[in-house]
Amino acid sequence: MNRLPYVAPAIQRLGSGPVNPFRLGASPCCAGIDGVSIAALTREHGSPLFVFSEKTLRDKYREAHRAFSRRYPDVQFAWSYKTNYLNAICNLFHQEGSIAEVVSGFEYEKARRNGILGNRIIFNGPCKERADLERAVAEGAMIQVDNIDELLTLASMTRNRAEPLRVALRINVNTGTHAVWSKFGFSADNGEALQVIRRMRSMPQLSLQGLHCHMGTFILDPEAYRVATQCLVELAREVESAGVGDIRYLNLGGGFASHARLHYQYLPPEQVTPSMDRYAEAICDTITQLWPKGRDLPRLYLETGRALVDDAGYLISTVVAVKSRPMSNGPSAAAHGTGANGQSALNTALAAYGKGAPATSNAPVMRHAVVVDAGVNLLYTAAWYQINVLPARPCPDSPQPTTVYGCLCMNIDVIREETPLPGLTTGDQVVMHPVGAYNVTQSMQFITYRPAVVMVGLDGRVHIIRERENLGYVQELERVPDHLAPLQAAVANSRTR
């Protein structure tokens, strides 16, 4: 009997291309932002370019505030500065009614310069310097204590006060929905929070007025907020029975998800991101149901950051190179069933059996890639989210999986792996979205200058809200010791020779 030769199993990429029903049709595109064309924006302000939509910022704020204020009588938003502390963005949220939430002396100073009084600043963070605490105490800021050392510092600072200083405690709690951010605050789960509350009996110069719990960021399950709120309400009772204060506010922090898409998130954000109403319902219903009857409801603070700003931010970038190479290049070839000589293991086996491979399987599977003029130094969040990359012009051809490489001379500079894009050419512009949260504040000057940031106003006018960097700005803080200066002179001399 003629026995078939053993064929080693191989994983092979399906090159279904245009017959794949999901790949048919023209690519979606983003030709403009709030009525201003991408071409006009880059003509005026260059590429890359961060763009914020004033309309989306205001719409997001109003939608979120409405969701809470419809359900609860006393709601106050505090803009989380670190999410995006460009002054134009902060001032827009302050105009809408937000106070400030800051986590450092630098952010505190920024908020003050934006005209926010100390008593309208929530001061968070695990590392508050003594001088900053002194200023916050003097100006009546709402200090949310992160750790026991900070509490003891405040106690010693206020020893001689006539009136007790009102403070709040940050609490962390396991809601069972995601990893606990145990770095911050006092644990409600192991009794630490309760212990600290009781220990405050020996600190009569401090009075507890608030409890705070910022659980983390991009929390997709509103039930987490129900559990956290319940925990804060229970601790408020403990504060009262310990006689160390009177809880006048609960602060559920931020963490509400934007319409970004996590890596490995299969369903689109439209199906996954909870509405603000669902978050608001979980928090507000829990307080109104559990708060002791007959006592004034506490004020509810929220420090929502990304949910307000992420969807309003875009990064425009330009294709500077197009790359297309067979999958056999690189160490991943074996994983795709392709041998070192470019033939697939299946083809090799079929050839050995004298059958030959089907004609199409000999065609190398191509990996499409483009290099754009922005890098991950501007898009810190590319590590967590699948940033949408859209062409800025309508393209009739079918999209193909395309990797978007950044402009940095670093192999890790990949903005997006294999996202469907039509055949782009050099000079084409792409729009990356949503990128409004954390990218501007965490972007670093590296290899290239950081780009300008503009805001498209409600009337369609475009305002620069941060200038593009230049060499003078980047070198402003550098100093060259005298003994190293001659080298610069030598360089200059060699140029003139």
Ligand X SMILES: Cc1ncc(COP(=O)(O)O)c(C=O)c1O
Structure tokens at 380: 């810190």
- Listed residue (188, 186, 291) closest to 240, CA to CA: 291
Instruction: Give the DSSP H or E segment for 391.
Output: strand 388-391
Which CB sits closer to ligand X, 306 or 368?
Answer: 306
Structure tokens at 434: 């949503």
Which CB sits closer to ligand X, 253 or 406?
Answer: 253
Task: Give CA separation, 155 vs 20, 146, 195, in Å.
Answer: 67, 14, 16
Structure tokens at 475: 């070198």
Structure tokens at 443: 């972007």
Task: For the chain, give the longest Cα–Cα distance.
Answer: 102
Structure tokens at 75: 């709601």
Q: Contact with ligand X (CB under 6 A): which of 101, 132, 311, 373?
A: 101
Which CB sits closer to ligand X, 82 or 112?
Answer: 82
Binding mask 288-317 for ligand X (x = CB under 6 A): ---------------xxxxx----------
Q: Contact with ligand X (CB under 6 A): which of 76, 98, 172, 217?
A: 217
Q: Return the number of other C-beta atoms located less than 10 Å from residue 303's C-beta.
A: 24
Q: Contact with ligand X (CB under 6 A): which of 48, 118, 245, 253?
A: 253
Task: Give CA separation, 98 vs 62, 110, 123, 225, 379, in Å.
Answer: 11, 15, 14, 21, 26
Q: Contact with ligand X (CB under 6 A): which of 105, 185, 255, 375?
A: 255
Question: What is the rounded distance in angstroms from the CA atom of residue 277 to the CA atom of residue 222?
Answer: 10
Smallest distance, Å, CB 107 to ligand X?
Answer: 11
Task: Give CA separation, 355 vs 14, 348, 361, 468, in Å.
Answer: 21, 10, 13, 62
Binding mask 102-141 for ligand X (x = CB under 6 A): ----------------------x-----------------
Q: Is 254 an interacting residue with respect to ligand X (CB under 6 A)?
A: yes
Stretch that binds ligand X, among 129-137, 186-194, 248-256, 455-463 (CB under 6 A): 248-256
**What residue spans of 424-484 are helical by DSSP H?**
439-442, 471-475
Structure tokens at 486: 């001659």
> Residue number with the shortest CB distance to ligand X?
254
Say which residues have a Cβ less than 8 Å from residue 391's Cβ, sequence separation at least 6.
Answer: 27, 29, 30, 421, 422, 424, 428, 429, 430, 431
Q: Is 175 an interacting residue with respect to ligand X (CB under 6 A)?
A: no
Which CB sits closer to ligand X, 48 or 255?
Answer: 255
Structure tokens at 419: 């996202």
Question: What is the rounded distance in angstroms from the CA atom of residue 78 to the CA atom of residue 304?
Answer: 7
Which CB sits closer to ligand X, 68 or 405?
Answer: 68
Smallest distance, Å, CB 282 to ligand X?
Answer: 15
142-145 and 165-172 beta bridge pairing: parallel
Contact 286, 250 (CB under 8 A): no
Which CB sits closer to ligand X, 254 or 391?
Answer: 254
Which CB sits closer to ligand X, 255 or 375?
Answer: 255
**DSSP symbol at 304:** -
What is the footprint of ligand X within residues 428-487 (CB under 6 A)? Answer: 437
Smallest distance, Å, CB 279 to ligand X?
Answer: 10
Structure tokens at 85: 């502390």
Written as one string, the DSSP assignment of 183-197 is TSSEESSSSHHHHHH
Binding mask 346-365 for ligand X (x = CB under 6 A): --------------------
Q: Is 222 an interacting residue with respect to ligand X (CB under 6 A)?
A: no
Contact 32, 43 (CB under 8 A): no
Which CB sits closer to ligand X, 50 or 85?
Answer: 85
Binding mask 51-90 for ligand X (x = CB under 6 A): -----------------------------x--x-------
Number of residues that bind ligand X (CB under 6 A): 16
Smallest distance, Å, CB 123 to ligand X?
Answer: 10
Which CB sits closer to ligand X, 102 or 454?
Answer: 102
Contact 52, 454 (CB under 8 A): yes
Smallest distance, Å, CB 171 to ligand X?
Answer: 12
Smallest distance, Å, CB 216 to ligand X?
Answer: 7
Smallest distance, Å, CB 250 to ligand X?
Answer: 14
Interface residues with ligand X (CB under 6 A) are 80, 83, 101, 124, 214, 217, 253-256, 303-307, 437
